[in-house]
Every structure is written in structure tokens, then in C-alpha cells.
Amino acid sequence: MSNVTQGAVLGKDDPVLRTDGLKKSFGGLTATDDVSFEVERGTITGLIGPNGAGKSTLFNLVSGFYEPDEGSVSVNGTDVTDHEPHEIVGEGMVRTFQTPRKPEGMSVREAMLVGPQGQTGESILPLFTSSSTVRREERQSLERAEEMLERFEIADLATQSATDLSGGQMKLVELARAMMSDPDLLLLDEPVAGVNPVLAQKLAGFIEELHAEGQSFLIIEHDMSFIMRLADPIIVLNQGSVLVEGPPDAVRSDDRVVDAYLGGPA
């Protein structure tokens, strides 16, 4: 058990995300208590912990959906504490949601086109003054969207209405769309929750492929076999703070982790 550290491993070589002493309380409940951790560039870092450990709160804190009471968050070395969610995306970190809502009245490829950042056509004036630029960008984005859908083996869904997708297919579209925004770090919130085992295997394969190409991930997941297969290192949260960090095999058999999950003496 020697390679499991008490608390998170800090001082990594090239952290893409780093938090320092994050704290967040809701009324009397401290959901996140002094959390410092780092995500090394190029890794798939797993974030696990029993229900109520504060994983989702932590995700909301780093992605700008909650404001921390104390502490700081930085992405690519830039301090993004108290920044708006869209500004944090601008720094290179994109998140997905546990239960994605299906965009009404949109086709799948249309929903994909929301992903790319800095689109000229998202401002009103250029729609009238430089419509050819908008058209060119739209063509490029569409091409990329179709490539991305092919890569995730859902190209046949491109022109289907997004509301007709199954939950699992929607998760794939979410991942594909998040990739359209060229993130440095992708935060996935339970990517296989409610997904059938076959599709979950597929999804794990896609994540591994992207990882092999250099994509960094931070993944929350309850499905232990899924996260243990993909992630290294794994950070374990318990009662709002980081319990341990280490490689999957070591974490799995660590007494402190077992106790936390089984509710033994902390």
C-alpha cells in the first residue's frame, strides 16, 4: 500500500487543473472541506467516493457553477476562481452533466454545432456583415461534427431529432459535442450512469482512444470496474475532503478506502 498517499498528491509536473483549499458550505453542511488536488496533463484522473462525499459539489466548484467560500481554482496556470462557467471553458476546461437534457427541436448534428468555441455567427452583427465567414465556419464545424459522430459510431444519428435518442446515445453525443470545443481537460460527470453495459464498454474504449491521443480527463464515476479500468491516478473523496490518491489497484485494496465505503471507523 506504499504508493497510496494520504491526501492528494500535490506538486505534479504539469497540472492542467489545480485547486487549493476549496471550501463550500450549504447552511450548516460543509460539502467541500479544504480540498486541494491536481490533475496532471495527459492523465485520466478518477474521482470516486461514497454518496455524499462531495464529488458533484467539487465539480460545480471547479467549473464555475458554484462559488467557493474559500480557496482557489486554476486552469492551465490561470486563476479562474469566481469566474463565470463560460469563461472557464475559454481557459480550456469543459464539463458534462450526469443527466444531459435532450435539446428540443434540434437534430443531433445541429446540437453538435453548439460545441465549437468563438464562432463568428454567435454575434448578431457579423450575420449581416460577413455572412460568408459564417457559412465557411458552419461548413467546417459541420464536417468536424460528422467526423466526430463517425468516430463515436453514431454517424447514422446525425440528422435525427435529438429528442429521439436513448439515454446512452445522448451520453455519446454529449462526449462528442464536448470534444468539439477542443478542451485541454474534459470533466465527465458519471459518463456511464444509466448506460447499458455494452455501450459502457464502447464508451470506455472511446475515452481510452482519446486519451492515447493526449486528451486529459477528470472523471467522476460510481461504476468501479469502469473507473478502475480507465483511470490512473484515482482520487478518493470522503466527507468533503480528499482521503487518498493513488493507482487503481492500490486504492482498491486500501483499508482507508474500504472503511470509507463500508462506513467503518474513519
Chain residues binding another protein by CB under 8 A are 63-65, 84-86, 89-90, 94-97, 100-107, 109-111, 113-115, 117, 119-124, 127-128, 131, 134-135, 137-139, 142-143, 146, 159, 161, 177-178, 181
> Given the complex with another protein, which of 187 and 260 has the nearer CB atom?
187
CA distance 149 to 112: 9
Length of the chain: 266
Min dist. Cβ of residue 210 to another protein (A): 18
Ranges of beta strands (E only) in the chain are 5-6, 15-26, 29-40, 44-48, 70-75, 78-79, 93-95, 185-189, 216-220, 234-238, 241-246
Min dist. Cβ of residue 211 to another protein (A): 21
DSSP tag of 120 = G
Min dist. Cβ of residue 161 to another protein (A): 6
Cell numbers given for 217: 480527463
> Given the complex with another protein, which of 69 and 147 has the nearer CB atom?
147
> Given the complex with another protein, which of 9 and 154 has the nearer CB atom?
154
Min dist. Cβ of residue 178 to another protein (A): 8
Cell numbers given for 135: 457559412
> Given the complex with another protein, which of 53 and 162 has the nearer CB atom?
162
CA distance 1 to 78: 35
Min dist. Cβ of residue 263 to another protein (A): 32
> Given the complex with another protein, which of 105 and 214 has the nearer CB atom?
105
Min dist. Cβ of residue 218 to another protein (A): 14
Min dist. Cβ of residue 232 to another protein (A): 26
> Given the complex with another protein, which of 86 and 198 has the nearer CB atom?
86
* Inter-CA distances, 81 with 6, 105, 124, 176, 255, Å: 26, 35, 30, 27, 34
* Inter-CA distances, 224 with 74, 76, 131, 230, 252, Å: 28, 29, 49, 10, 9
- Burial (Cβ within 10 Å: 0-12, 13-18, ≥19) of residue 104: exposed
> Given the complex with another protein, which of 48 and 173 has the nearer CB atom?
173
- For 109, half-sphere exposure in the C-beta direction (CA atoms, 13 angstrom radius) is 19
- Burial (Cβ within 10 Å: 0-12, 13-18, ≥19) of residue 185: buried
